[in-house]
């Protein structure tokens, strides 16, 4: 009974705003494996309240967070024998949404009208993924993080959150020009600009920018990171529907990959599951303590701006977007997202188009 | 000038929600007699702000709580000689809404355009009732509580409030299955279930469920309540538009009636004027102190669930209702309410239809 | 790109409310000269967020408070060489809204699509005025306060704010009947009423009421204010679009002018830039300390009522206005405002119509 409505909410684009997209048929991380224990866990995906719980065999289940009986949130109840029991009348549901008990009722509990709305789930690499369209079994699997178990690599994971749209966060994460300005001093500065080449490769489900000729870190830092010398390679990548990936390679010795799998909680609230994998010529126990505070500092500067951006869009009731070619990835990301919103499934892989531009860094 | 608008607000059903009903031509309790003293009293009925005050002869009056002159709430003013005086320019109104004074104006104050919107009122049995349609003299009188002055009976009154719709509260009050679950242990338990018969009687303005074969309280309690033995009779009744009544009879000695007259303050905010009348073989001074704390404990559990139910409907922007036959009264109550909302007056009394079902308790 | 939308918001009247008006092509005070220093200043005009800053030559500029690039409020940035620099990517704008720098971009920054929405400004008499229609050069100049530098006159300035519509504040400021009621005792009382004549003069951009025969202050006060005797003259004036002026003249010696230039911040939030100019036979250093506390006391009583008026309109979702002839100016003010909202420019000066009425004071 409730299913068509939830689906509608999950796919309808809000009125008049260009950059807010609701993506059907996509996998998103809803929690980490360790967050989902014996109690039901209330989460939100693209504005739809969900409840996660574990079946008797430990597999995660996800239902719309309201009992089909009387609209009480199922997350208020508890898990009994791998079934989720509503706290009001005690109706029970399995991970397929099937009603399995109706206390007091002498008939059979299983009836189509009494089903809860269910969502496909996967648990892998320490994350619980949920499929954004309810009631269907997906034909593709969630994203896998690169280099997680590669020899010589270390991993740092963090969960972040900002009051911005999925698109705003994706663009921000993969945007170069704001770094020297907003994060000025930290890893790029406004002074001493030089011109570099940017190669942009656009595919059916991704877009990538390669920065060529970017200066290497100077002095001691450069020598520490690349004792054998070599050039700096830098890629910014967007992978449908919500992965932002920044890759740095410095000579043969230094390699760092920051992969951010984002989850649109609501239109203006986005969770970021960040996985940093790296191989550096310095002892990793020495590096690791620095990664989180530096990343958090940068992220907090961005989060503050993104929140003000959201606030401004709300106050004006409209959006303004004027781009130049150094807004390298943002417009392409939005095009891919809006296409996915319309088609509801990602298109067949097409050939990659390559373009070039100049940027001052 | 404002009258047609208030009436519209009082009768229009909100968009798309099945269970929210606005009832015209109905009596609701707005306050107790003792709450209405010398000062004007601001209240809300079905989303419409009202102000109550007493005329010179002590009779209660009710007006829409805004001055027709400049929209200031009349409840901000004071009562002068049985007229309600606005606090801004001092315009005065009688209980019929007639404007009786316009300070500074040299003409006659009485003019149709200067009338306040008025509502019929009645004061009886310690309650002030207000009619939900403004500007008309009702053709029927408010409900009278049973057994208030019956010999051998005692009465306890309480005012309660919950963030749920009128329908949700009515159904909750008359619902049996949730008691053994939500209030588990208190008066029914999940274990030791037996099957009983339920007789449902549906009339033009009421619906009643009679529970037959319900087990009597065991041991000492049963012997205390019914020293002469006898069977337990239990009725749950809904009386249009907003009365929920639970009646227990145990042998010849014990009789208890819990009558809840509910007032829809706003769509998701309901006041309950509860009147408990009882005759028990134990001393009433011994019983009375227990009634309020036990009833409050139960009510608080219900109120918490009802608030979460409301919250969930709001978050989803829609409702989900899937019932079984052990949702004995809820669907019938809603049918009667929606019919009253459409017809605007209650139909002539029709014959009573009786049906039967089984329930595990 | 954003310009048409801002303009739309600045001129569209909200749904169904009679008294809420959005006035295009009008000058409003946005801040005092001293409030606008080296930092950008965020303000709101008729619901549109604006940012004010000073160009290199000190002249004030006003832009819509969002960067056309990515919707971040420009007021979050800083002023660099008389240009406003966005805090996200560092785009810079001059007071004409022209984009003057796009860090990282190798092309020319100036492009029409990259312009910020600009508003004409004037700075005079210690106030910064902004024109309510963006992107146009006004054909008329802001209002000038009377008697600011007249010999023998003193001036007191205050900024006030109330949660009421522009119209509600204008009417309240120029309304006589509420004074003896709401501010009873302070300068008029309900008792001892006498009848006086009121002459009303309605022009194309103004309306004025002259009160004839009003009693002079009694006893010592009257003798102090008008030692040479003489009659009391009292005018209440409204000047389009938002000036309320109260003028008192008592004999040849006392003259006081309270001019309130109002700014509609949002539909229900109004700023009042009050300028009191006066010439009195008492030492001005003796008078001045009393003006502010007495005026504030009166204003706070009014502000409280206006806030409740706003609240009531919101709760009912509609307005009720029933007037008598002693609502001398309110209806005329509304007529002029609504006409200006439709025509978008004030009409050519027309002849003045004079009418008379009686009022009890």
C229 or B41, higher pLDDT: B41
Mean pLDDT check: name the lowest of B138-147, B174-183, B330-339. Answer: B174-183
CATH number for region C26-131: 2.102.10.10
Q: What is the pLDDT of residue C253?
A: 86
Q: Are strands C243-250 and C254-266 parallel, antiparallel or unpaired?
A: antiparallel
In the block, which residue shows the tokens 């019919």? Answer: B339
CATH 3.40.190.290 for domain C154-360, yes or no, is no
Q: Do B69 and C321 touch (CB under 8 A)?
A: yes
Does the CB of A298 have a partner CB in chain C at under 8 Å?
A: no
Q: What is the pLDDT of residue A9?
A: 40
Q: What is the pLDDT of residue A191?
A: 57
Mean pLDDT check: name the lowest of B21-25, B305-309, C215-219, C289-293. Answer: C215-219
Q: What is the rounded distance in angstroms from the CA atom of residue C340 to the CA atom of residue C21?
A: 9
Q: What is the pLDDT of residue B63?
A: 98
Residue C142 has pLDDT above 70, yes or no: yes
**How many pairs of residues across A and B have Cβ atoms under 8 Å apart?**
93
Identify the residue among C7, C47, C71, C76 best suited for mutation to test binding to A, counting A beta carbons within 10 A and taking the highest.
C71
The C-alpha of A97 sits at a distance from chain B's nearest C-alpha, in angstroms, of 14
Q: What is the pLDDT of residue B40?
A: 98
CB contact at 8 A, A81 and A56: yes
Nearest to A361 among C5, C72, C104 (CB): C104
Q: Please choose, from the candidates A93, A256, A91, A272, the residue with its C-alpha nearest in 3D space to the C-alpha of residue A168.
A: A272
SS3 at position C218:
coil
Phi, psi of A204 (to 5 degrees): -70, -30
Q: Please choose, from the candidates A202, A51, A187, A190, the residue with its C-alpha nearest in 3D space to the C-alpha of residue A128.
A: A51
Q: Please choose, from the candidates B68, B57, B70, B60, the residue with its C-alpha nearest in 3D space to the C-alpha of residue B39.
A: B60
Q: Are strands C269-279 and C154-162 parallel, antiparallel or unpaired?
A: antiparallel
Q: What is the rounded distance in angstroms from the CA atom of residue C222 to the CA atom of residue C187?
A: 13
pLDDT one-digit tens code per residue, C159-207: 999 999 999 999 999 999 998 888 875 554 555 668 999 999 999 999 9
- List CB contacts (< 8 A) between B104 and chain C: 176-177, 180, 326, 359-361
Nearest to B88 among C182, C318, C360 (CB): C182
**Chains interfacing with A (3 or more CB pairs < 8 Å):** B, C
Q: Please choose, from the candidates B305, B11, B260, the residue with its C-alpha nearest in 3D space to the C-alpha of residue B159.
A: B260
Q: What is the pLDDT of residue A11?
A: 41
Q: Which two tokens stand for residue A111?
A: 């009836």
pLDDT one-digit tens code per residue, C13-22: 445 688 899 9
Q: What is the rounded distance in angstroms from the CA atom of residue A268 to the CA atom of residue C139?
A: 42
Q: CB-based burial of residue A28 (10 Å sphere; 0-12 exposed, 13-18 middle, 19+ buried)? A: buried
Q: What is the rounded distance in angstroms from the CA atom of residue A337 to the CA atom of residue A353?
A: 18
Q: What is the DSSP letter of B18?
A: S
Q: What is the pLDDT of residue C229?
A: 79
Phi, psi of A261 (to 5 degrees): -90, 115
Q: Which two tokens stand for residue A167?
A: 């698109």
The C-alpha of C69 sits at a distance from chain A's nearest C-alpha, in angstroms, of 5
Does the CB of B314 have a partner CB in chain A at under 8 Å?
A: no
Q: Which two tokens stand for residue A76?
A: 């208020």
Q: Do A324 and C107 touch (CB under 8 A)?
A: yes
In the block, which residue shows the tokens 């022009």? Answer: C203
| pTM for the model | 0.91
Q: What is the ipTM of this complex?
A: 0.90
Nearest to C320 among B2, B88, B104 (CB): B2
Residue C7 has pLDDT above 90, yes or no: no
Does the CB of B112 have a partner CB in chain C at under 8 Å?
A: no
Q: Which two tokens stand for residue B264?
A: 């829809």
Q: Do B311 and A2 touch (CB under 8 A)?
A: no
Q: What is the rounded distance in angstroms from the CA atom of residue C148 to the CA atom of residue C154?
A: 8
pLDDT one-digit tens code per residue, B279-326: 999 888 888 888 888 889 999 999 999 999 999 999 999 999 999 999
Q: Do A106 and B317 touch (CB under 8 A)?
A: no
Q: Do C190 and B68 touch (CB under 8 A)?
A: no
CATH topology of domain A3-131: Rieske Iron-sulfur Protein (2.102.10)
Could you tell me which chain A residue has the CA closest to the CA of B169?
Answer: A70
pLDDT one-digit tens code per residue, A251-287: 888 999 999 999 999 999 999 999 999 999 988 888 8
Residue A234, sorted as left (phi over 0), alpha (psi -120 to 50) or beta, turns out to be: beta
CATH topology of domain B21-131: Rieske Iron-sulfur Protein (2.102.10)
- How far, CA to CA in Å, does A242 sit from each of A15, A20, A29, A138? 22, 13, 10, 17
Q: What is the rounded distance in angstroms from the CA atom of residue B270 to the CA atom of residue B337?
A: 15
Does the CB of C166 have a partner CB in chain B at under 8 Å?
A: no
Q: Which residues of chain A have pLDDT under 70?
A: 1-16, 185-193, 344-349
Q: What is the pLDDT of residue C8?
A: 36
Domain spans, chain C = 26-131, 154-360
Q: Do B105 and C360 touch (CB under 8 A)?
A: yes
SS (H, E, C) B79-103: EECCEEECCCCCCEECCCCCEEECC
SS3 at position B228:
coil
Nearest to C361 among B2, B9, B104 (CB): B104
Q: Which residues of C154-180 are buried (b: 16+ CB within 10 A; e: fewer)?
A: bbbbeebebbbbbbbbbbbbbbbbbbb
Q: What is the pLDDT of residue B127?
A: 98
> Which H or E run includes A78?
strand A78-80
Q: What is the rounded distance in angstroms from the CA atom of residue A180 to the CA atom of residue A189?
A: 5
CB contact at 8 A, C177 and C326: yes
Q: What is the pLDDT of residue A216?
A: 79
Q: How much is the CA Rg of chain C, to the nearest whole Å?
A: 23
Q: Please choose, from the candidates C215, C261, C237, the residue with its C-alpha nearest in 3D space to the C-alpha of residue C332.
A: C237
CB contact at 8 A, B81 and B143: no
Q: CB-based burial of residue C275 (10 Å sphere; 0-12 exposed, 13-18 middle, 19+ buried)? A: buried
CB contact at 8 A, A52 and A41: yes
Residue C82, sorted as left (phi over 0), alpha (psi -120 to 50) or beta, turns out to be: left
Mean pLDDT check: name the lowest of A282-286, B265-269, C100-104. Answer: A282-286
Return the percentage of chain C with pLDDT > 70, whole number.
91
CB contact at 8 A, B214 and B361: yes
Nearest to B66 among C178, C316, C326 (CB): C316
In the block, which residue shows the tokens 């007529």? Answer: C335
DSSP A239-298: ETTTEEEEEEEETTTEEEEEEEEEEEEETTEEEEEEEEEEE-SS-HHHHHHHHHHHHHHH
β-bridge partners, C124: C127
Q: What is the pLDDT of residue B219?
A: 74
The C-alpha of B191 sits at a distance from chain A's nearest C-alpha, in angstroms, of 11
Q: What is the rounded distance in angstroms from the CA atom of residue C13 to the CA atom of residue C28?
A: 18
Q: Please choose, from the candidates A111, A19, A15, A120, the residue with its C-alpha nearest in 3D space to the C-alpha of residue A63.
A: A120
**Order of strands across the sheet that contains C118-119:** C41-45, C48-54, C60-64, C118-119
The C-alpha of B166 sits at a distance from chain A's nearest C-alpha, in angstroms, of 14
Does the CB of A178 have a partner CB in chain C at under 8 Å?
A: yes
Does the CB of B108 have a partner CB in chain C at under 8 Å?
A: no
SS3 at position A338:
helix
CB contact at 8 A, A117 and A97: yes
CB contact at 8 A, C250 and C278: no
**Chains interfacing with C (3 or more CB pairs < 8 Å):** A, B
CB contact at 8 A, C150 and C277: yes
Q: Do C90 and A181 touch (CB under 8 A)?
A: yes
Q: What is the pLDDT of residue B98?
A: 98
Q: What is the rounded distance in angstroms from the CA atom of residue C162 to the CA atom of residue C158?
A: 13
Phi, psi of A169 (to 5 degrees): -70, -40
| Band of pLDDT at residue C287, cut at 50, 70 and 90 | confident
Nearest to C88 among A178, A325, A326 (CB): A178
Residue B159 has pLDDT above 80, yes or no: yes
Could you tell me which chain C residue has the CA closest to the CA of A175?
Answer: C89
Does the CB of B66 have a partner CB in chain C at under 8 Å?
A: yes
State the sign of the Cα–Cα–Cα–Cα dihedral B15, B20, A88, B303: positive
Q: Which two tokens stand for residue A358?
A: 């100049």
Does the CB of B21 have a partner CB in chain A at under 8 Å?
A: no
Q: Please choose, from the candidates A150, A159, A126, the residue with its C-alpha nearest in 3D space to the C-alpha of residue A274.
A: A159
Does the CB of C195 have a partner CB in chain B at under 8 Å?
A: yes
C-alpha torsion angle, residues C264, C265, C267, C272 (rounded to 10): -50
Q: What is the rounded distance in angstroms from the CA atom of residue A313 to the CA atom of residue A268?
A: 10
Could you tell me which chain C residue has the CA closest to the CA of A357?
Answer: C106
Residue B360 has pLDDT above 70, yes or no: yes
**Chains interfacing with B (3 or more CB pairs < 8 Å):** A, C
Q: What is the DSSP letter of A66?
A: S
Q: Which two tokens stand for residue B17?
A: 């929600």
C-alpha torsion angle, residues C21, C27, C28, C34 (rounded to 10): 170
- List CB contacts (< 8 A) between C46 and chain A: none
Phi, psi of C27 (to 5 degrees): -95, 135
C-alpha torsion angle, residues C322, C323, C324, C326 (rounded to 10): 150
Mean pLDDT check: name the lowest of B311-320, C138-147, C209-218. Answer: C209-218
Residue B122 has pLDDT above 60, yes or no: yes
Q: What is the pLDDT of residue C295?
A: 87
Q: Are strands C127-131 and B254-266 parallel, antiparallel or unpaired?
A: unpaired
């Amino acid at each position: 009974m409730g299913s068509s409505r939830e689906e509608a909410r999950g796919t309808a684009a809000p009125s008049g705003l260009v950059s807010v997209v609701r993506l059907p048929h996509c996998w998103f991380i809803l929690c980490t494996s360790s967050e989902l224990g014996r109690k039901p866990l209330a989460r939100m995906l693209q504005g739809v309240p969900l409840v996660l719980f574990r079946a008797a065999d430990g597999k995660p289940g996800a239902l719309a967070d309201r009992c089909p009986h009387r609209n009480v949130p199922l997350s208020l109840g508890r898990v009994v024998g791998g079934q989720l029991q509503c706290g009001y009348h005690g109706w029970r549901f399995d991970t397929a949404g099937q009603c399995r008990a109706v206390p007091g009722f002498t008939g059979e509990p299983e009836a189509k009208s009494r089903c809860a709305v269910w969502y496909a789930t996967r648990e892998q690499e320490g994350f619980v993924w949920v499929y954004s369209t309810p009631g269907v079994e997906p034909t593709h699997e969630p994203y896998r993080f690169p280099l997680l178990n590669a020899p010589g690599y270390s991993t740092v994971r963090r969960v972040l959150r900002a009051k911005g749209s999925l698109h705003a966060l994706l663009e921000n994460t993969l945007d170069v020009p704001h770094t020297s300005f907003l994060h000025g001093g930290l890893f790029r500065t406004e002074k001493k600009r030089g011109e570099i080449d940017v190669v942009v490769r656009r595919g059916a489900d991704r877009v990538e920018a390669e920065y060529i000729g970017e200066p290497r870190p100077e002095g001691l830092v450069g020598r520490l990171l690349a004792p054998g010398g070599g050039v700096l390679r830098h890629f910014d990548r967007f992978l449908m529907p919500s992965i932002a990936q920044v890759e740095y390679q410095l000579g043969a010795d230094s390699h760092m990959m920051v992969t951010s799998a984002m989850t649109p909680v609501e239109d203006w609230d986005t969770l970021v599951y960040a996985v940093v994998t790296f191989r550096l010529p310095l002892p990793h126990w020495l590096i690791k303590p620095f990664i989180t505070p530096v990343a958090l500092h940068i992220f907090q500067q961005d989060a503050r701006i993104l929140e003000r951006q959201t606030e401004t869009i709300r106050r004006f009731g409209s959006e303004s977007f004027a781009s130049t070619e150094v807004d390298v990835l943002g417009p392409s990301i939005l095009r891919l997202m809006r296409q996915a919103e319309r088609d509801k499934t990602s298109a067949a892989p097409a050939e990659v188009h390559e373009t070039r531009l100049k940027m001052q860094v």
